[in-house]
Structure 1
Amino acid sequence: MRRLWWVVAFVVAVLSTLTVVTAATVRATVLSPAFHESVLDEQDAYDRLYNEVLVDPDAAPVARELLAGLAVPEAQITSNIKLVLPPDTVRALTREQIRAVVGYLNGDRDALDLSVDVRPVLNNLNDLAHTYFGDLVAGLQDRSEPDFDRFTADLSAALRDVSEGRAPAGLPSLPLTPEQVEQATDAVLRVLPAGQRAALRPEIETALADGDVATVLAAVAPAAVSDRTRDAARQLQAVMDGGTWDLTDTLAASGNDLAALHRLRPYTAVGVGLVELLAAVLLVASLVALWFLGSTRPDRRLTRLGRPLVVGGVLVAVAALVVRGVTGGRVVDPPAAWPASLARLVDDVQHGAFAHITRTALLAALVPVVAGALLLGAGHYLRVRRPGSLPARRIVGFGAGAAAVAVAGMVVVPLVAGPAAPRVCQGQGSAALCDRPYDEVAYLTSHNAMSTTVDRFIGPLQDPGITAQLDDGVRALQIDTYRWERPDEITARLADSDFTSAQREFIADAVNRFNPPRDGLWLCHSVCRAGAIALVPTLREIGDWMRAHPTEVVTLIIQDAISGQDTEQAFAEAGLTDLIHTPDPDPAKPWPTLGEMTDSGRRLVVFAEQADGPADWYRNFYRYGMETPFAFRSPDAMTCAPHRGGDDHRLFLLNHFITIDGGSRLDAGTVNARRFLLDRAHRCERERGRPVTFVAVDYTTIGDAQGAVAALNAER
């Protein structure tokens, strides 16, 4: 009978060891949201989504179906995909699905509801329409027409083309009488909703009187395109149940009904932690029983404790390897209809997850094997020890301690060995950047970030608004602060601006026709009459974005035409003082790492081009940084010569844009190309002896400046 109880205790100890290790492994991996997030980052899933899946020709039919009816061609969707579907949005949506699945498996949710809120994506479609429109206007060429009737007809045709997402073949040009201006204005306004016509009439009349048809389109087409885009977005919302996409039904329709998760849930929902605890209690009880059953010799008691631990650990290791071999590291078989790039990504993620689970199980299994081996070794030592060696009481105490450590280790080791939630700095899974000092990281920088097509600036240098720029990977914003100029200040201000002569004439003529002066602080590009957005609300918008993205460090470089006191008050009114980092008073001192800045919460760095205080966080950029020249008229003219800030500072601003009476959208396609930008950055780093910090470009959505900046950081 005693022998039977010994066998029962031995079997219970083996099975308990197996259960504890398995439950701990499952809890630390399959039932941990951090595990799934880590696997996705390890496989570069988010980068591959943009660089491989969304540009895969096999994925085009899906894009066409979802985006049918938008006033934006498919090529523009592809080239500006990060504007429509920002990486941070994808990461947030993915985490929601991970939490839904893990909650279902843990029993926290009664049903597996995989639904995606696509409203953030739909809201970005309006910005994309403006981005596309900016490209259209930039490529238009003037041509003369002989009579007013032909002018009006061609103008109407151009408006129809733009509002339907097509580039006009050209623009009509003809001096108009005041009566003809009124007639042409009426024709132009007919393409707009009635409620928007009165506000735009003064601007259109002024532009037509000057023969400036491009400005007419710049004023009218965004509204027309946006209206069509909103209609298409509403259609998508109707299809997707008011902005929600039910992935559960979609997966079921594709043959992946998630049956494996449903079969697994009865075993996980009862509480893996509870099973683990009960198994640990049974393991301790069975080890105690083995201690007292059979011979009372210390060496045999230790041996009885060691054997089931070794056997249980070996069984776990064998089971883990068998499961990995049988499944082939796959749970879901991608349907044949999926694009090959998506199928590869899903397979790689599955194999990565299985590799982590197997590794965690093997490490956890090693704990009872090592502890059991130590117990067996201690028992053997007691049998063969010589007189005068360690007393048996100490060895028995050691054995009991080893058994206790084994039980605790089987619970703790999987939690330590399993991948933790990735620590991300500067978006898109850049965990390595967290340990990099602020001044050794490259940041995509938006030159004149406030001057956008979306906000209807004349001669815009960016297309999307500031929040969309941040969503799209911009991490430094060059902005200009102003008070609204008086009419008598316009001439002098225009003379120093980089507007074309036609734009200067248009702005001067428009001073008393529309856009009257306004009080307060503004973000303008040279002249507030050419476009302005309020400073404090924009700062508040930046703060809202940063609080929604707690791992991001953002820099503002302000061309300041207002006082330091006014700037300090504006930041206080916007509620940003708790986010602002204060640089060391000594510009030569090392900067903190990005991780240290995010941990402190002080991760908004603010520089001025002119001021230096009075706030201790508001420092003059050229005390801390240096730059290249910025008045380049062609890509070939770009140099790395020292400009403001000298040649010996830690921060390095690379001015990388072309200015020919304003920004050059066409040249942006050349200088923002990944290879061109990288070649210049490398050349300037060699010549100046410092890594490039801020890569300032016009039209951040053109070319691949973001890819070049990512490559610079990867090289370092």
Structure 2
Amino acid sequence: MRFTFISSAIALVASTMLLRGADAQQLCNGYAELCAKTYDQVSYATAHNAYSYTPRGALALNQNNDIPTQLKDGIRAFMLDAYNLPSGATNDIELCHSYCNLLDAGPLSAVLGQIKTFMDQNPNEVISIFWENAANLAPARFQTVYQAAGMTPYLYTQAAGSTTWPTLASMISSKKRLLNFVDSGADASVPWLMAEYDFIFETPWQITAGSEYPCTVDRPKDQERGMYVMNHFISKQVIVGDQTYDVPQSAIVAQTNGQDLATHANKCTQTFSKIPNFVAVDFYEQGSVFQTVAQLNGVTWNGKAPTPPPSSTKNAAAGKNGGVSSAVVTLAAAAAAAIFTV
């Protein structure tokens, strides 16, 4: 009897562990229904200029929350801009917006460390990174930083010309669940740094308040691909001296990321006969970004509310500049002066 009892207990514990293991594998990017979908059949909440949450008050600020918070909240694609280090060293990449004098968020190595920590702790998540190769860096530069950060085991490579993508479940099973796309400079020497426009097109990104949200092919010009980025963020052009800056419009983001986002997504879905794969937004935690992405994916939103921005990051009230505070305009002037005196 004692042997039978012990055997039964062992069997119960084993079956419980198996069930827990099965449960852990059921969710892919937070939803069981996404596991059987291929990568190109899924929509991903995307942070436009994800790194530009610091320094606080910078002219080019696009986000309020840092990247670890973005990951925790459900952002699964990140737009990053690559520049040379101010020191001139080649062992890292600097994350800047337009000019490092304007917004400098520091080295890529720090951000990759944050992403790796999240991926290590969350094995059922597929992550994408979009690179704007602003400084025309060689793929080997990216390779150096990714290898040093320990990202190599996670890197996924899609064969050039292939239109067949794996399911999220198979990516998770293989552990190859970090996808990297670059807008220019890709070559065969670093195959995981994939040429974005071989696989993806983008809708126009320069959208001003009051204008219609476009569902046209902007990049590559008039060439559709199997997937697409729907750029959905409002900016206002501010002229300082002889320079024009596109300033994100935080004052109207509740509307931008609310009903306007759902309307834009539905319009593009009808126009292109497929859902937008990457829904790129500013200030993602405001509005209904995750509800809209869930709807595009045909799942019931899990109800997980994003993290509110720290109160100290909220921009000053909108004035004559349409959401651009006088402090920010002053900063723009200082940044422009710095650019031309370097």
2:275 corresponds in structure 1 to 691
2:325 corresponds in structure 1 to none
**Alignment map for 1:272-283 (pairs within 5 Å):** none
1:470 corresponds in structure 2 to 71
CA 32–451 in structure 1, closer or farther in 2 if over 3 Å, else same: same
Tell me the secondary structure at the aligned position of residue 556 of structure 1: strand
Is 1:666–2:239 an aligned residue pair? no
**Alignment map for 1:260-659 (pairs within 5 Å):** 421-427=24-30, 430-453=31-54, 457-484=58-85, 517-520=86-89, 521-532=93-104, 533-560=106-133, 561=135, 562-587=137-162, 589-613=163-187, 614-645=189-220, 646-659=222-235
2:12 corresponds in structure 1 to 27
Q: Quick one: which amino acid aligns to residue 34 of structure 2?
A: L
CA drift of 1:712 comes to 1.2
CA drift of 1:563 comes to 2.3
Contact 2:202 2:230 in 1 (8 A): yes
CA drift of 1:700 comes to 0.8
Q: Quick one: which amino acid aligns to residue 668 of structure 1?
A: V
CA 455–570 in structure 1, closer or farther in 2 if over 3 Å, else same: farther
CA distance in 2, matches of 1:441, 1:566: 30
Tell me the secondary structure at the aligned position of residue 426 of structure 1: coil
**Alignment map for 1:104-123 (pairs within 5 Å):** none
CA distance in 2, matches of 1:595, 1:625: 22
Higher Cα Rg, which structure: 1
Contact 2:198 2:225 in 1 (8 A): yes
Q: Quick one: which amino acid aligns to residue 680 of structure 1?
A: H
Tell me the secondary structure at the aligned position of residue 687 of structure 1: helix
Tell me the secondary structure at the aligned position of residue 606 of structure 1: strand
Tell me the secondary structure at the aligned position of residue 207 of structure 2: coil
What's the CA shift string for 1:302-354, capped at 9, x where partnerless? xxxxxxxxxxxxxxxxxxxxxxxxxxxxxxxxxxxxxxxxxxxxxxxxxxxxx
2:339 corresponds in structure 1 to none
Is 1:703–2:268 an aligned residue pair? no
CA 519–538 in structure 1, closer or farther in 2 if over 3 Å, else same: farther
CA distance in 1, matches of 2:236, 2:167: 38
CA distance in 2, matches of 1:450, 1:643: 24
What's the CA shift string for 1:439-475, capped at 9, x where partnerless? 1100000000010046664431001111111111100
CA 602–422 in structure 1, closer or farther in 2 if over 3 Å, else same: closer
Contact 1:650 1:690 in 2 (8 A): no
Contact 1:447 1:478 in 2 (8 A): yes
Contact 2:128 2:179 in 1 (8 A): yes
CA distance in 2, matches of 1:467, 1:691: 27
CA distance in 2, matches of 1:608, 1:421: 32
Question: By percentage of residues, which structure has more helix?
Answer: 1
What's the CA shift string for 1:596-646, capped at 9, x where partnerless? 111111111000011222301111111100111111102542110111033
Q: TM-score, normalised by structure 1?
A: 0.37
Contact 1:652 1:694 in 2 (8 A): yes
CA drift of 1:715 comes to 5.4
Q: Taking CA–CA contacts closer than 8 Å with sequence separation of 6 or more, which of the two structures ends up with the larger relative contact order?
A: 2
CA drift of 1:714 comes to 2.1
**Alignment map for 1:192-207 (pairs within 5 Å):** none
What's the CA shift string for 1:206-245, capped at 9, x where partnerless? xxxxxxxxxxxxxxxxxxxxxxxxxxxxxxxxxxxxxxxx
Tell me the secondary structure at the aligned position of residue 88 of structure 2: coil
List structure 1 segments (4+ residues) > 6 angstroms apart after TM superposition: none
Tell me the secondary structure at the aligned position of residue 597 of structure 1: helix
CA drift of 1:27 comes to 2.7
Tell me the secondary structure at the aligned position of residue 201 of structure 2: strand
Tell me the secondary structure at the aligned position of residue 152 of structure 2: coil
Contact 1:34 1:421 in 2 (8 A): no
CA drift of 1:689 comes to 2.3
Matched residues, number = 281
Is 1:678–2:279 an aligned residue pair? no
Contact 2:275 2:296 in 1 (8 A): no
Contact 1:635 1:667 in 2 (8 A): no
CA distance in 1, matches of 2:25, 2:154: 23
Question: By percentage of residues, which structure has more strand?
Answer: 2
CA 647–687 in structure 1, closer or farther in 2 if over 3 Å, else same: farther
CA distance in 1, matches of 2:297, 2:42: 6
CA drift of 1:690 comes to 2.4
Q: Quick one: which amino acid aligns to residue 88 of structure 2?
A: D
Identify unmatched segments of 5+ residues in structure 2. 238-246, 301-342
Tell me the secondary structure at the aligned position of residue 32 of structure 1: helix
CA distance in 1, matches of 2:55, 2:171: 32
Contact 1:454 1:465 in 2 (8 A): no
Contact 2:233 2:248 in 1 (8 A): yes
CA distance in 1, matches of 2:41, 2:228: 10
CA distance in 2, matches of 1:452, 1:435: 34
CA distance in 2, matches of 1:696, 1:624: 17
